[in-house]
Structure 1
């Protein structure tokens, strides 16, 4: 019985292999989405026009060939430009020779779009600030303890003057990180466009992630600023307690003289309630959580 079962299983797998082999020997069609890349631009020139980021290429080949093509990495469709084609309508089918990654056994049926309009003009180069596009999810009790650091802070951007002028800054690709509970250094690519060239094309992003803690500072003096020489403002009480939250390393380095409580004389005069709420100055990337008392009585004296 066991021998018969083993024979049946063996026969089944052999049949499946034969069926797959026969099936994949037939011709099939697939459509690939390929990033479009312009190459061989004359030095000092850039591309303009409505250039798509990707093109669709419909191909025909045997199943075996298509499987290898489908899983091939770093597929891009290259279109070559030169000084003789400053403004051209490019037929994508004419650029097949530029794409050596495409096997001759693959029959390219059509492209969508089939043609693209590209104009080549003198370029300009400027340096633009990089903005990190981040979606950060922290573990409970953790957060950013310092500004996000990007290296380099500025990148070189080359393109047509009208296009470069539209970009006050350069954004990275969107990056989502979850479960953050420690500092991280990551590499991020820039949000690419066929109308601009970036150098470098990637930046380093440093995230200072720390455990968030609270610390109370007592006996913080409240100062009234911009008091006229013939006036005096008496506060009741003159000192308050301030609780501050931030990264554990930053909070542990705070000293009482780094916490400033104040109000402005004109704001005191304009008050009609008899109480003022002091403003608090604290180091960057820290937050005030509690002020005790929240309101302070005042008396204005004239000399």
Structure 2
């Protein structure tokens, strides 16, 4: 009998707690419902979208976001702040006749251009006015410059220059900006550990967002990876460019060893005829020290590793 009484008391206690929590939850919901039906004033941030005539382009990006002071019910403002993804200030300048390159947008124009929810009252905007800087539109093609670093696997090397497909990009925008652009970079990328040739898609940098449009947005980078190799070319004759040295000038030594490195396929194709060493005549005549480092000319797809000796002497021979 004692056990039954305790059990009943425990059940009653649980019922009371649930009742209190239920009442509290109902009260909170009722308070929220009443509060959200009241009217409030707040500031909201919405993006600015500028629509220009087909023959005009922005010279500099205007404010990306504007602050609007708005009045509405709690429900409306809650929805605007947390659920509305279409709110914007759409500034339609398609029919504007531009007498100069600067268009001043007034406070009234900004408020009228705000596309918010129905029954939301707009009271103010910051900034209260903006300037739109425009100009004539033009386009041209510029070469793509890859910003990519390749670190091959141990014992392998990158052979020759990277191949880019396509190797140019069409840019379009304000003519004053377009005419000063000479090339377009890719996004920065690091590729490590490759032991065979590969192709990779890389995006182009969008450093002038909303100012310059470009196409395509991506290019393919092709890299030739080969096992690295070295090859020495002995008895490479040192030649003088520009003019023949007087007969009493002596070059010591007259021949050097050139050591090249590169992909095994490229290195295996080379002969001594692909390697040349030279010194400029004018440098010899104007020099008073008589010690020179020969310039080495080699194919583009291999690299100079060393020359032996690295320096040569040129002097007048006296009788």
2:55 is matched with which residue? 44
Structure 1 position 264 matched with structure 2 position 277: no
Pairing 1:98-109 to 2, within 5 Å after superposition: none
From the CA coordinates, give the structure whose radius of gyration is larger. Answer: 2
Kept in 2: contact 1:56–1:111 (CA 8 A): yes
Aligned with 1:289 (options 283, 294, 305): 305
Q: 1:232 to 1:217 in 2, by over 3 A?
A: farther
2:73 is matched with which residue? none
1:177 is matched with which residue? 189
Classify the secondary structure of the residue corresponding to 1:191: coil
Classify the secondary structure of the residue corresponding to 1:92: helix
The Cα offsets for residues 17-43 of structure 1, whole Å up to 9 and x where unpaired, read as x99x97999699786574x543251x3
1:92 is matched with which residue? 110
Query: Distance in 1 between the 2:278 and 2:97 partners?
Result: 67
2:221 is matched with which residue? 206
Kept in 2: contact 1:215–1:243 (CA 8 A): yes
The CA deviation at 1:104 is 5.2
| Unpaired runs of at least 5, structure 2 | 1-17, 71-75
Q: How many residues align?
A: 273
The Cα offsets for residues 28-83 of structure 1, whole Å up to 9 and x where unpaired, read as 9786574x543251x333345x54262245688565664445xx6x9986432123
Structure 1 position 168 matched with structure 2 position 142: no
Kept in 2: contact 1:55–1:113 (CA 8 A): no
The Cα offsets for residues 183-212 of structure 1, whole Å up to 9 and x where unpaired, read as 423232543354x44352625252526368
Structure 1 position 276 matched with structure 2 position 292: yes
Q: 1:115 to 1:156 in 2, by over 3 A?
A: same
TM-score with structure 2 length normalisation? 0.61
Query: Distance in 1 between the 2:93 and 2:65 partners?
Result: 17
Kept in 1: contact 2:236–2:275 (CA 8 A): no
Query: Distance in 1 between the 2:221 and 2:104 partners?
Result: 44
Q: 1:105 to 1:131 in 2, by over 3 A?
A: farther
Query: Distance in 2 between the 1:276 and 1:31 partners?
Result: 71
Aligned with 1:80 (options 92, 96, 105): 92
2:260 is matched with which residue? 244
Kept in 2: contact 1:130–1:150 (CA 8 A): no
The CA deviation at 1:294 is 0.9
Query: Distance in 1 between the 2:144 and 2:126 partners?
Result: 33
Please, what is the CA RMSD of the aligned residues?
A: 4.7
1:127 is matched with which residue? 140
Query: Distance in 2 between the 1:202 and 1:64 partners?
Result: 35
Q: 1:277 to 1:119 in 2, by over 3 A?
A: closer
